[in-house]
Amino acid sequence: MFHELRTFDDHAELARAAARFVVESAHLAVNSKGRFNLAVSGGSAPHAMFKVFAASPMPWAQTVIYQVDERVVGIDDPQRNLRMLRETLPAVAVVRPMPVDEANLERAADDYAASLPEWFDLVHLGLGPDGHTASLVPGDAVLDVTDRDVAISGEYQGNQRMTLTYPGLAKAKQLLWVVTGPDKRRALNMLVRGDRSIPAGRVEARSSTVMADVTTPSVVMAGVTSPSTVMADVTSPS
């Protein structure tokens, strides 16, 4: 698998580029098949991207947004990823939320999996300092789930999560990783080198683009000026 690595001078430039990538992907999908299936991750890092994306000329009527993961917390909890989406995206945006309010979470995960499209045109992912992505975190049993597209994680940072599994993420025609901050340096380096010892390194999809700001330098970016593009062949770890 190849990761196309693009670096940017600052977080604002990265947010604009990532939003433009989403919008361009949307128009390509709609022009091709009349629909754009997008899955988005939560967390604080993509907030700026969503704000730019929300104000962009998106084909909202033909776009359906799914969640990559969600914390099992109340609907009004500020940690709820859905809350950020609803506060950021326009009212016309169609969002299919993960049903983490259901009493039977395993059944709810199965129901959400049944609602997913055959393919996602684009899946947005983040990257944690510990190498996690979505809610696929180091040491969690959810990493070994191979027969379900959606599953429930163990407790992580105080909460259980509902998350797309590796098979669920493999439905992506295109991945877009948005990575910011110096604390992600080691994890980014491991990701682009295909290191499967971190959860993010085990994600597979048809195509992958990684966008990072220069506060997140990596060994593979040494000597490269920003904005820049590097093709990282990660068929096997270095």
pLDDT digit string, tens, across residues 126-177: 999 999 999 999 999 999 999 999 999 998 887 899 999 999 999 999 999 9
- φ, ψ of residue 105 to 5 degrees: the values are -70, -35
What is the distance of C-alpha 167 from the center of its chain? 14
Contact in structure between 151 and 145 (CB atoms under 8 Å): yes
pLDDT of residue 233: 44
The full set of domain ranges for the chain reads: 2-233
pLDDT of residue 156: 85
- pTM of the shown model: 0.90
d(Cα 44, Cα 81) in Å, to the nearest integer?
9
Q: Which tokens hold the place of 216?
A: 């997140």
How many Cβ atoms from other residues are within 10 Å of residue 114's Cβ? Answer: 9
CATH number assigned to the domain covering 2-233: 3.40.50.1360
The residue ranges of the chain whose pLDDT is under 50 are 219, 221-238
- Which residues, 6+ apart, have CB-to-CB distance to 120 below 8 Å? 37, 38, 39, 66, 171, 172, 173
